Structure 1
Amino acid sequence: MKVDLTGKVVIVTGGSKGIGKGIATVFAKQGAHVVIAARGLESAQHVAEALEKQGYSASAISVDVESYDSVEQMAKNVALEYGAIDILCSNAGIFPSAKLEDMTIADWDHVMNTNTRGTMFSVKACLPYLKKAENGRIIITSSITGPITGYAGWTHYGASKAAQLGFMKTAALELAPYNITINAVMPGNIATEGLEGLGEDYLKKMASAIPFKRLGKVEDIGYAALFLSSKEAGFITGQTIVVDGGQTLPEDAEAF
């Protein structure tokens, strides 16, 4: 898909690895200047430098999405340096595993603060600049886990991802008068560094649940986000796109 983003400034939170890195790469290839925002500045710089070496426009910035002051400063710095914020990809998220009976309050708060409050903080901080954009766009990386499915050990993660969608629906109403759309991509099992750390048996199990018998690629999420960021998607807001290779479709996993 060809979407001309020449001259557009895009922030991708959690852009230094995994799905965020895939989103950043897809957007950079369409001509945007992509700001890789991540807690670890060095890893964000590595991604930005790699994109620059390929001839694309990218830079890095440090941000802690659990801190509104940090997110607000990020937005101010990006707008000052590049003159605008046109697209926000609120992607930063964590998915540590903890069974409910063993989960601590700190475990719960850390996931909710990163995934849910981090989304609200990012949108709120970027809003003054998105309002000035010709076609402001916000893309949230949610998940099938929580809104559609459940997975043992991820009660906090599932809750955080479902909460993002509740936030999105009302935000869409509030942002529409400013010609800003806000939508979400809901990934299924995507091959990332985080999943690789869960072991080969886990990866095989996840792939077996997908009709295509393979995990998705990070670029698959990037292209869905790209469509929702396009001028052509300007009449779509408060909606979700599931990108899971059909994982959530079968009534009987043995049927395929």
Structure 2
Amino acid sequence: MKKERKLELEDLVTIVTGAGRGIGKTISEKFFEEGSMLALWDVDFPLVKALAYSLDPKGQRVMAIRADVTSESEVSKAVEEVVRKFGRIDILVNNAGISRHKPIEEMTLEIFEEVIKVNLTGTFLCCRSVTPIMKKQGRGKIINIASLGGRTGRPGVGVNYAASKAGVIGLTQTLARELGPFGIYVNAIAPGPILTEQTKQYPPEVFATWNIGRAIQKDGLPEDVAEAAIFLGSKRSDWITGVTLDVNGGILIR
């Protein structure tokens, strides 16, 4: 008789920020398949509401929350709402992010700070808000979505985006040291170019330049990032913290 496969994230409560589309949506879908209960956050509430309904029409294991990760009050309220429904938070996936590329001489301070605020400050606020809960539980896993752009300079990335994602990597490493004694794991994923609805809007030749030097001749998909997140959220990664996992098909080999 074939042995039934054990679900990797069975009954673990996960928050996914920026869950409405792209990588965040796929992470949410894959986590649900692995048995996780989900709190789907996004500034676009209709998107996450529709996703939540498609996964769990009865709303017993999935909830949708309109949350702006740059707002202290909205993040705090959203965390309280998750705890009120599920009683705990086991995993936080900080996926919410934006890109506003301009050559540096054309980049206003407003555009620079907008990206930093969502990508880096938003990650900080979410980490800070779940920390007391995870400490009380004696366990938790935080997964921050960084980027190849935070590892190395790439054409078309933008200094604001690269700086924000490099900051996420530094935040991940420091927080892993700080929270490790409390049973809280903090890791990051640095995806390379990923085919999403957003990136498909670019001309193929532009996407090709992002993949120069790639060792594996396969385009990166949201599922590739989701599988890495499942690993980091599961017990299989219980001897791993402070790591930034490169998921880029070998564009960057270190």
TM over 0.5: yes
Give the secondary-structure state (helix, strand or coil) at the position aligned to 2:56.
helix
1:245 corresponds, among 244, 249, 252, to 249
Name the counterpart of 1:109.
Answer: 113
- Per-residue CA distance 1:182-201 (angstroms, 9 max, x = gap): 00000001111221222333
Amino acid at match of 1:103: M
Name the counterpart of 1:129.
Answer: 133
Rounded to whole Å, the distance in 2 between the matches of 1:86 and 1:124 is 14
Q: CA deviation at 1:2?
A: 5.7
The answer as to whether partners of 1:208 and 1:214 remain within 8 angstroms in 2 is no
2:171 corresponds, among 167, 174, 196, to 167
1:42 corresponds, among 42, 46, 55, to 46
What are structure 1's unaligned runs of at least 5 residues? 251-256
Rounded to whole Å, the distance in 2 between the matches of 1:25 and 1:15 is 9
Q: Runs (4+) of structure 1 moved beyond 6 Å?
A: none
Residue 99 to residue 2, structure 1, CA distance change in 2 (3 Å):
farther
Rounded to whole Å, the distance in 2 between the matches of 1:70 and 1:12 is 15
Identity %: 33
Amino acid at match of 2:246: V
1:213 corresponds, among 217, 224, 245, to 217
- Per-residue CA distance 1:31-71 (angstroms, 9 max, x = gap): 01111100011011121122226x99422111101111111
Rounded to whole Å, the distance in 2 between the matches of 1:111 and 1:22 is 22
Amino acid at match of 2:14: V
- Tell me how many residue pairs correspond in the alignment: 250
Deviates more, 1:169-178 or 1:111-120: 169-178
Rounded to whole Å, the distance in 1 between the matches of 2:135 and 2:223 is 28
Give the secondary-structure state (helix, strand or coil) at the position aligned to 2:105.
coil
* Matching of residues 87-236 of structure 1 within 5 Å: 87-133=91-137, 135-207=139-211, 209-236=213-240
Q: Does 1:67 align with 2:88?
A: no
The answer as to whether partners of 1:3 and 1:230 remain within 8 angstroms in 2 is no
Give the secondary-structure state (helix, strand or coil) at the position aligned to 1:145.
helix
Amino acid at match of 1:18: G
- Per-residue CA distance 1:95-131 (angstroms, 9 max, x = gap): 1211100000000010000000000000001112222
The answer as to whether partners of 1:141 and 1:185 remain within 8 angstroms in 2 is yes
Give the secondary-structure state (helix, strand or coil) at the position aligned to 2:112.
helix
What are structure 2's unaligned runs of at least 5 residues? none
- Per-residue CA distance 1:66-104 (angstroms, 9 max, x = gap): 111111111011011111111000110001211100000
- Per-residue CA distance 1:129-149 (angstroms, 9 max, x = gap): 222335300000000112233
TM-score (ref. length: structure 1)? 0.91
The answer as to whether partners of 1:188 and 1:243 remain within 8 angstroms in 2 is yes
Rounded to whole Å, the distance in 1 between the matches of 2:107 and 2:51 is 34
